Homo-oligomer: A and B are copies of this chain.
Amino acid sequence: MTADERKHRIEAYLQRVEFASLEELSQHVEASVSTVRRDLSVLEAAGELRRTHGGARIVTPKTDEFAFSARDTHQLSEKELIGKACANLIGSNQSVILDAGTTVYHVARHLEEKAPQIVTNSLPVANLFASANKVEVILAGGVIYPRLGVLVGPMTVEAFSKMRADVAIMSAGGITLEGVTNSHTLLIDIQRAMLKAAQKIIFCLDHSKFGRQSVSPLCGLDMVDTIVTDNRAPHELVAALRERGVEVVVASHAHSNGEEI
């Protein structure tokens, strides 16, 4: 990789994730942190980004025109961790269905290297990859649901009904031992079609979703292969879920820092 290409990759990566640590960038471009530091200095001088302690931040985030990526910095890091951990579950060259929803959005940010085929009905996710040409993104058609930037309606359901994918990465409003529920009735049909289309089902649910029930039941626990959550999820419920045969991955700082392939 040339120095120039490396700088561009740093820029592109930051364009997607908005902020990244030195370590993260270093791994992403496969160069030492020293080199990344120097690159960042150059890019900062060019006005492309702004260096911060421990990393860098893009100066003009282009993905930010959505009510969607609202600044809840509180749970942001938890969703980040969940996103990273979930992305680690995905193998290379798999086809992945991505649900709409903020948590899944964070998964998408870490998926560039892994999955060349992504199917989604989320406009923010689509925008994320709109300029990345390593990933093939299929966007399901449908009517845009304004606030969320999600495509909904019969067109969307039909699109997913005709598809097959290796994995589906899903959001939901709540999970109990009785199953998974969601509040957006508009999305239920679409999510059901997603579940049918995928071989493996992963739900990304931060701790606040545990023990909660939304209005519309989505599916039972038997459909769920894996749940990725953060370390504030109630241990009893996690244990109970595991007893029911659901794999539960708890994302933590330690885990995400560890092994590389």
Contact = CB atoms under 8 A, between A and B. Distances in A.
A137 B130 contact: no
A144 interface: yes
A76 interface: no
A43 to B, nearest CB: 15
Given A52-B3, A55-B5, A146-B133, A138 B155 contact: yes
A2 B52 contact: yes
Interface residues of A, number: 45
A128 to B, nearest CB: 9
A77 B4 CA distance: 34
Contacts of A143: 136-139
The winner among A5, A141, A142 for most chain B CB atoms within 10 A is A141
Interface majority SS on A: helix, strand, loop or mixed? mixed
B4 A57 contact: yes
A222 interface: no
Interface stretch (A64-72, A105-113, A205-213): A64-72
A126 interface: yes
A130 B65 contact: yes
A4 B151 contact: no
A147 interface: yes
Interface of A: 1-5, 8, 18-21, 52-55, 57, 62, 65-67, 70, 123, 126-127, 129-133, 136-144, 146-147, 149, 151, 153, 155-156, 159
